[in-house]
Amino acid sequence: MSADSESRGPAWLLPASGLARLHDSLREAGYQVIGPRVVNGAIVLRELSSADELPFGWGVTLAPGGYRLRRRADHAAFAHSAGPGSWKQFLHPPREQLWSAHRTPDGGYSADSAAASDAKLAFIGVRPCDLRAIQIQDQVLGAPTHPDSTYASRRSSVFIVAVNCTEPGETCFCTSMGTGPRAGRGYDLLLTELTGPGDHTFVVEAGSAAGEATLAGLDLRPADPGAMRRAQASVSEAAGKMGRTMHADGLRDLLARSHDAARWEDVASRCLTCGNCTMACPTCFCTTVEDVTDLSGDHAERWQSWASCFDLDFSYVHSGPVRSSGESRYRQWLTHKLGTWHDQFGSSGCVGCGRCIVWCPVGIDITEEVAALQAELGGPEAGE
Amino acid sequence: MRDSPRPKLAVWKLASCDGCQLTVLDCQDELLALAAEVDIAHFTEATTTDLPGPYDVSLVEGSITTPADAERIRQIRADSRTLVTIGACATAGGIQALRNFADAAEFSAAIYARPDYVASLATSTPVSGHVPVDFELRGCPIDKRQLLSVLSALLAGRQPRIPGHSVCHECKLRGTACVMVAHGTPCLGPVTQAGCGAICPSFDRGCYGCFGPMATPNTAALVPELMRLGTAPGDVRRVFATFNAAAPGFRDVRPKP
Ligand code: SF4
Ligand code: SF4
Ligand code: SF4
């Protein structure tokens, strides 16, 4: 499908019923299989005990600060855009013990680093925007210079089944960020879902040797040109159905000169500084560490947990926080995500998944805030 | 924390329902560990022991509503190296601070046959309004894990670390899909301080704000959203006028119809 996946060998057709075999063979290979599932009014990512738990026939309606499940006319399993969770829950968990220490009878102490879990994870249904988000976190947390060792060890054994996007949501803008709707590199298997009257099949392509090996056990037939054309067309159409746009050109420079923009005060009057946007965002990676002791003082632990730049403690240095106003905290979020991220990691920190728009309780829309800054500060995209 | 091997812990009660003291008792397994580390010098819910001060750590439950308690808290402060207030009453005045917005004498006259026997103040105020407080632990009631972490920190001579961020952090960390966004349920979580573990949203209820305002609550920005989700202006005022009615950030909610 994408230019570089064509070089990876032939495309196959898998009937929807074949997802069960794919799921089971990954489990047999020792993977904990994680994928989308309907839980309590939302499509969340959880361990799947069978492929039947995939959200067949469910879609979503998205709005700033609004998320509702809806029944679809077809049985599509992957025609829903980003939900409340993202794959970082598994690769970069919300809370994790780093080490513990105990006082020993001789008055010394012994320390143990937390045992890295040896669970192998398989992710089913990774959308192109989220595939890119995983790669952005790889760059931040897994880069060879200073890798986060537990991240790197978890990440090294992940098996990724990506799904090309055929149904973007009202808050999606991956085309603006160049991350979708067609998956880039980095998957083991790539699916494109085809639904039609009496038909529910997947075009399957392998992107790695591990992916290719998985194909062996599946009920596949070679993809015919008609199916390939339909798959191509539905992904191309998806590109035209993005609910949002962001003019991403020149954002790094725009944000660098945005310090005194009036828009920050405007958005701060609406922003709750609750931190939902940063925690829902699949690329935000900040953490804090806390040392705890028990009542006896003989046992100590160090824990790492997600932190947010909207948190007052985040910028606390001797005698107080550096960013106490709402303006300065919202500005930090946006200028890092879309601006200085380029300087640090060579790309934007935004993949256009729309989560921060949907999961903001008051519906603050990153695309709208950027457009307002562009209009206020001028530059290449002013007035658009 | 001092030369003597076992520090003295006292638990005091002012105007309150005893729920936070019960949280201390609810520590169950850890209670034995605690009893092994400290001498319990005063704790009427648990023991008739009543040792004189000074105390290394005093936990104070309840608000100041009587002239007698306004005096008593000065003595407790004078007798305590570290004074920690526990619960919405002690940290914000509690639900009884509703009297601050009305005429307390009128209430007395309506309820008691001989209001002249009742010596109470016109307001219910947090302990910090009367004496310096070393640490405040929020909640109605307080959270057991937070209490244990504060006590463990104090026993080890560390600064307790209790985050001032929103309940939303806890929803996201535990993987609860936001009830405002996914269900349209009004929730005070975005302006309420974390600490409970986001219990109510995990049971599909909105947060009632029993931990009081987070470090920088933007209540004015949440109110229109609560109304958009169907909360009537009078109910918006009422939902903030509960356990932490008199807390800054909650007490001035004035929804525009
Ligand atoms: S932008 Fe929205 S989600 Fe983010 S901190 Fe502000 S109110 Fe919360
Ligand atoms: S349910 Fe309430 S506390 Fe939880 S994320 Fe939503 S608004 Fe915040
Ligand atoms: S969720 Fe809110 S109301 Fe419920 S216990 Fe926690 S702080 Fe109290």
- What pLDDT digit, counting tens, does each position of B170-224 carry? 999 999 999 999 999 999 999 999 999 999 999 999 999 999 999 999 999 999 9
How many A×B Cβ pairs under 8 Å? Answer: 133
Q: What is the pLDDT of residue B4?
A: 53
The number of the ligand 1 atom at minimal distance from the alpha carbon of A356 is 3
Q: How far apart are CA A246 and CA A251, in angstroms?
A: 10
Q: Which residue ranges form the domains of chain B, and what is each CATH number?
A: 8-155 (3.40.50.700), 167-240 (no CATH)
Mind listing the pLDDT tens digit for each residue in A5-26? 444 679 999 999 999 999 999 9
Point out which residues pair with A47 in neighbouring strands.
A34
Q: What crossing angle do the helices spanning A263-270 and A366-377 adopt, rounded to 10°?
A: 160
Structure tokens at B221: 């920005």
- Amino acid letter, A305: S
- Examine the pLDDT at A383 and tell me if it is beyond 50: no
Per-residue pLDDT, B216 = 95
Q: Could you say which of A68, A272, A293 has the minimum Cβ distance to residue B221?
A: A272
Nearest-atom index, ligand 1, CA of A310: 5
The residues facing B80 across adjacent strands are B55
* pLDDT value of residue B64: 98
Q: Do B172 and A275 touch (CB under 8 A)?
A: yes
Q: Indicate the top mutation candidate among B165, B211, B244 to test ligand 3's pocket, ranked by most ligand atoms within 8 A of CB.
A: B211
Q: State how far residue B117 is from chain A, nearest Cα, in angstroms.
A: 45
Beta bridge partners of A290: A303
Question: For the residues B94-109, what does the mean pLDDT come to?
Answer: 93
pTM for the model: 0.93
**Contacts of residue A275, Cβ cutoff 8 Å, sequence gap at least 6:** A308, A310, A311, B165, B166, B168, B169, B172
Task: Look over chain A and give the mean of its residue pLDDT values, rounded to a whole number.
Answer: 94
- Its ipTM equals 0.94
Please give the full DSSP string across A77-101, using - where no structure is assigned: SS-----S--THHHHS-SEEEEEEE
Report the separation in Å between the CA atom of B197 and the middle of ligand 1, taken as the mean of its atom positions.
20
State chain B's maximal CA–CA distance in angstroms. 61
Domain range summary for chain A, segments of one domain joined by +: 8-93+116-239, 251-289+307-377
- Beta carbons of B30 and A272 less than 8 Å apart: no
Q: What's the whole-number mean pLDDT along residues B34-53?
A: 93
By Cβ distance, the residue of B151, B178, B216 closest to A273 is B216
Phi and psi angles of residue B193, each rounded to the nearest 5 degrees, phi first = -75, 135
User: Would you say B10 and B57 are in contact if contact means Cβ atoms under 8 Å apart?
Assistant: yes
Beta-ladder partners of A111: A101
| Nearest residue in chain A measured CA to CA from B184 | A66
**How much is the pLDDT for B16?**
97
A134: amino acid identity, one letter: I
CB of B178 within 6 A of ligand 2: the answer is yes
Ligand 3 mutation pick, B179, B192, B222, B243, max ligand atoms within 8 A of CB:
B192
Structure tokens at B95: 């639900």
Contact A313 B216 (CB under 8 A): no
pLDDT over threshold 60, residue B137: yes
- Chain A residues touching residue B191 (CB < 8 angstroms): 272, 274
Asked if residues A133 and A121 have their Cβ atoms less than 8 Å apart, the reply is no
**3-state SS string over chain B?**
CCCCCCCEEEEEECECCCHHHHHHHCCCHHHHHHHHHCEEEEECCCCCCECCCCEEEEEEECEECCHHHHHHHHHHHHHEEEEEEEHHHHHHCCHHHHHHHCCHHHHHHHHCCCHHHCCCCCCCECHHHCCCCCEEECECCECHHHHHHHHHHHHHCCCCCCCCCEHHHHHHHHCCCCHHHHHCCCCCHHHEECCCCCHHHHCCCCCCCCCCECCCCCHHHHHHHHHHCCCCHHHHHHHHCCCCCCCCCCCCCCCCC
